Structure 1
Amino acid sequence: MRTIPPSGVLFDLDGTLLDTAPDLAAALNRLRCAHGESELPLEAIRPTISQGSPGMLNLGFGRTLDDPLYPALNQRFLDLYREFIAVETVLFPGMGEVLAYLEANCIRWGVVTNKPGWLTEPLMKALNLWSRAACVVSGDTLSKRKPDPEPLWYACEQMGVAPGQSLYVGDAERDMQAGKQAGMIALVAGFGYLGTEDRPEEWGADGFLEQPADLFGWLGAVEVGIATRALDLNK
């Protein structure tokens, strides 16, 4: 079976490329305080972040998407987050070295996230990543978003790479669903925001990354059609 290095690498944003948990948790706690509620510890909020606003607001207020008060609560939460969007947010440890390697070896990289563009763009710019990424696809860039594969296909098209020669890294089941349907090698970011109820071994992923540096094992040569590192079923 012939082997090739990947032509492109795509990342989910929250919980994969960036550790946004501190700033998202701070926004949720500011909103809770405004409603007379006490702050929640970061450790309690962190596992819900990959679920987006629905998960965080359900944790913080017990409000679900079908609650009539949800839309206003969600908008206020996002406004508070946008106001202080990059105070403590950083690349995950080791991710800076991964991006430097990709750029040095002419492997194009980009972001595919369900985060809306009005939050994605200022965050990426604040971290000086916007101009470095070959493409950034937000949750509202297209009419469809993950777990649909279309945003990944669109990102590959923008980068000028074939999906079958690319990797997608994410910390949620929908990321693996999108990646596999797109024909890409899909890797779980085990360092991201996985909750105790998550079962990544059941997501159909090609591999599990304990840390960003584990990506280096996938960047030298990826076997076409067969992952070179199996997902540890005991994870």
Structure 2
Amino acid sequence: MKILWDLDGTILDTWPTLVEAFTILAEKDLPYEEVLPHLKYGTAYEFYGVDKSLVTKFREIERTLSNERKPLFPYVKDVLSNADVNVLVTHRNRRSTEELLEHWNLGANFEEVICPADDGYSLKPDIHAYKYLHDRYGLDLAVGDQSTDLIPAKKIGLQTCSFREQNEYADQIIQCYSEFTYK
């Protein structure tokens, strides 16, 4: 199986550190449960009145938080190891992505990694990075935790797997990678 992956919230449990970084950036005492959906759906900056031009600062704050606090989801390494091809599209910048992949010894699992802002692509759900990877590797499946991960996959004809989230664009939904099926 040839799989296109998202990183945050799909391979690594980074949402807690992403929420923490946003709370630091906003300079407000914000409850995790309130901030999380706004971050996931791209409404946090507007909702909390934070200037969108600070997104680079947000990413830098999050990058400085310990990588140990951004753990792998259980069994994801098994899926990565058993796939024929793995590629990655993440909204993280190249530096942060490479640091995380190195920290968790994941780099060798990926044929190619695209960080749209660094690699000349538009952010997801734009299809161009997905189309490039599909044309190059003949992908079968995209795995992600948000609609922005799955919409471009559906548009280019890939099967989709939503991780830990109900999603109208998902062909299958799993809560744990021990449930992953190689079809």
Interval containing the TM-score (normalised by the shorter chain)? 0.7 to 0.9
Matching of residues 1-235 of structure 1 within 5 Å: 6=1, 8-32=2-26, 35=27, 37-38=28-29, 40-51=30-41, 54-59=42-47, 61-63=48-50, 69-71=51-53, 73-84=54-65, 86-102=67-83, 107-140=84-117, 141-158=119-136, 161-163=137-139, 166-189=140-163, 191=164, 194=165, 200-201=167-168, 203=169, 205-215=170-180, 217=181, 219=182, 221=183
TM-score for both structures, normalised by structure 1: 0.67
Paired residues in the alignment total 182
Q: Structure 1 stretches of 5 or more lacking a match?
A: 1-5, 64-68, 222-235
What do residues 129-151 of structure 1 show as CA deviations (whole Å, max 9, x unaligned)? Answer: 12321111112223333222221
Give the Cα–Cα distance (whole angstroms) in 1 for the partners of residues 148 and 98 of structure 2.
Answer: 22
- Residue 99 of structure 1 deviates from its aligned partner by 2.0
The structure that has the greater radius of gyration is 1
- Residue 170 of structure 1 deviates from its aligned partner by 1.2
Alignment check: 8 A CA contact 1:112 1:155 kept:
no
Give the Cα–Cα distance (whole angstroms) in 2 for the partners of residues 85 and 155 of structure 1.
Answer: 31
- Residue 155 of structure 1 deviates from its aligned partner by 2.3
Q: Structure 2 stretches of 5 or more lacking a match?
A: none
SS for the counterpart of 1:131 is: helix
- Residue 168 of structure 1 deviates from its aligned partner by 0.4
- Residue 28 of structure 1 deviates from its aligned partner by 2.1
Q: Which residue pairs with 1:232 in the alignment?
A: none
SS for the counterpart of 1:27 is: helix
> By percentage of residues, which structure has more helix?
2
- Residue 157 of structure 1 deviates from its aligned partner by 4.6
Give the Cα–Cα distance (whole angstroms) in 2 for the partners of residues 186 and 112 of structure 1.
Answer: 14
SS for the counterpart of 1:187 is: strand
In the alignment, residue 142 of structure 2 is paired with which amino acid? Y
What do residues 181-231 of structure 1 show as CA deviations (whole Å, max 9, x unaligned)? Answer: 122111211x2xx5xxxx623x3x32222222222x2x1x3xxxxxxxxxx
TM-score for both structures, normalised by structure 2: 0.84
Alignment check: 8 A CA contact 1:10 1:111 kept:
yes
SS for the counterpart of 1:90 is: coil
SS for the counterpart of 1:145 is: coil
Give the Cα–Cα distance (whole angstroms) in 2 for the partners of residues 137 and 85 of structure 1.
Answer: 23
Alignment check: 8 A CA contact 2:59 2:92 kept:
no
Identity over aligned residues, as a percent? 26
